[in-house]
Structures are given as C-alpha cells and as structure tokens.
C-alpha cells in the first residue's frame, strides 16, 4: 500500500533532494525520501543493537568480581612496570 503525505522542507533540503534526482542518483523525490527513511530505520536498529550489547556488557561486569579504584590503579601500575621492564 502507498500513502501520500505532505512534508515541509527547507530550501537547502529541497535543492539537495532535487539535485540527487537531477544527477541520476535517485529516480524520484519519493525514492530519495524512502531511502532516507530506510537509512534512519537501519541507523535506529543498529543503535538499539549497540545499546543492548552495552547493557549486556554492563550486566556482565556487574555480575563479575568488583575491583575498587585503589586495586585497579595498583594492578595497572604493576602491569605497566612489567611492560616497561621487558626489552623491546
């Protein structure tokens, strides 16, 4: 099913969209907007996937052992000292 809608664009947006059609990069203004919406949908879906992955990582970190700031800094200093002591 196709739905017709009216939209408002700035002069720059209209010029850009028409330029895409005039240069042959898009067959019509409708195609420009459909592609734009498809890109927004994919971007939104990817954002949601990334957000879910970050939430999962946070949950894993929370479930694991806790290292306080002093312990973390000491472990980092020890690691860096051992790396610096090794010949290149």
Segment 21-78, tens digit of pLDDT:
999 999 999 999 999 999 999 999 999 999 999 999 999 989 988 888 999 999 999 9
Return d(Cα 70, Cα 73) in angstroms, integer.
5
Predicted local confidence at residue 88, as pLDDT: 64
32 CB-near residues (< 8 Å, 6+ apart): 17, 20, 21, 26
Predicted local confidence at residue 66, as pLDDT: 83
Predicted local confidence at residue 86, as pLDDT: 80
Name the nearest CA neighbour of 76 among 87, 67, 66.
67
H helix intervals, the chain: 11-22, 29-63, 69-85
């Amino acid at each position: 099913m196709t739905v017709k809608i009216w939209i408002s664009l700035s002069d720059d947006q209209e010029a850009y969209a028409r330029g895409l059609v005039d240069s042959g990069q898009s067959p019509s203004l409708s195609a420009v907007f459909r592609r734009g919406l498809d890109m927004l949908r994919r971007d939104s879906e990817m954002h949601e996937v990334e957000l879910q992955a970050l939430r999962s990582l946070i949950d894993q970190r929370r479930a694991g052992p806790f290292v306080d700031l002093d312990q973390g800094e000491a472990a980092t200093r020890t690691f860096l000292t051992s790396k610096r002591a090794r010949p290149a």
